[in-house]
Amino acid sequence: MNRRHFLLSGLLLAGALITACPASAADFTRTEDVIYGRKDGVALTMDVFQPKQPNGYGVIFMVSGGWFSSHDAITPAFYEPFLGRGYTVFAVVHGSQPKFVVTEILGDVNRAVRFIRHNAANYGVNPDKLGITGASAGGHLSLMMATTGRPGKPHAKDPVDRESSAVAAAACFFPPTDFLNYGKPGEDAVGVGVLKDFKPAFGPRSDTPEGRQALGREISPIYHLTSNTPPCLIIHGDADTLVPIQQAESFVAKAKAMGVTARLIVKHGGQHGWPDILKDIPSLADWFDTCLRGLPAK
């Protein structure tokens, strides 16, 4: 795995927030290492941030860069704009590549949403009004949940698995949305081309053109859009060379054509992350205010 891109899209983003907006521990309580599932003998965990004055709604934050996830990348300063408005934030850590591939990681994320919904009363949040957010790979996972969240299995042994993994709104930064048309029509990026450094995340199915075509459709949010997809916001820089802005443009255009509420905010000159990205976090919170709480759009 090339960790450089993870640092750029994850730690750089978090670092800017730490510098610009230190969060006060007095404003929220943090419960660390809440176990939401287990696989291969390893616990899957999330940290839960509960504001001093909760508004009764939850935001799920995907801690992911390059489909690598780490508890060390959980940064309270990142969540301050949400906590300041009363949102309870669930910072979800998933199994990381190269040990786990994207399809397995999506299983973790589905489990996390089901767990949060099952325990919503304990956290004081509305189980039917959960928002999801993230950046880069975290944005991709957010849109996958927005487009593929499904009802649970009613007769599952584990009551968590009986819950739905659907979310009510998504808002994210610079997400991949179509690995088969990556930057231009027909450009394959399923572990090749622009994303060749991330091949371990796609696994052995990416070894052949046929495998890449099938996998690309399976894990690209754009192919799962329906008229029932919840509202989606994307903030994307038009100078991004890792995830071309075309990814956001095509997703939003198709979503709107299907009658889905969708919006793209373009950051002119923005690359894969930008120094003052902190100023854009409130736009995500505005989206959740409107789509979850029903407040007037700003």
138 closest CA partner among 272, 2, 21: 272
- Tracing tokens 């060749």 back to the chain, one arrives at 196
Higher local confidence (pLDDT), 3 or 56: 56
Instruction: Count the helix, strand and coil residues of the chain and give each as a percent rounded to the nearest 5.
Output: 40, 20, 40
3-state secondary structure of 2: coil
Range scoring the smallest mean pLDDT among 80-84, 275-279, 287-291? 275-279
Q: Which CATH superfamily is domain 3-291 in?
A: Alpha/Beta hydrolase fold, catalytic domain (3.40.50.1820)
- The stretch 281-291 carries a mean pLDDT of 98
Tokens describing residue 193: 């081309």
The torsion angles phi and psi of 112, rounded to 5 degrees, stand at: -60, -45
- Dump pLDDT digits (tens) for 231-249: 999 999 999 999 999 999 9
Confidence of residue 138 (pLDDT cuts 50, 70, 90): very high
Confidence of residue 14 (pLDDT cuts 50, 70, 90): very low
Confidence of residue 26 (pLDDT cuts 50, 70, 90): low
What percent of the chain is modeled with pLDDT above 90?
Answer: 87
Predicted structure pTM score: 0.93
Rounded to whole angstroms, the Cα distance separating 19 from 276 reads: 11
Bridge partners (DSSP) listed for residue 46? 34, 92
Q: What pLDDT does 4 receive?
A: 39
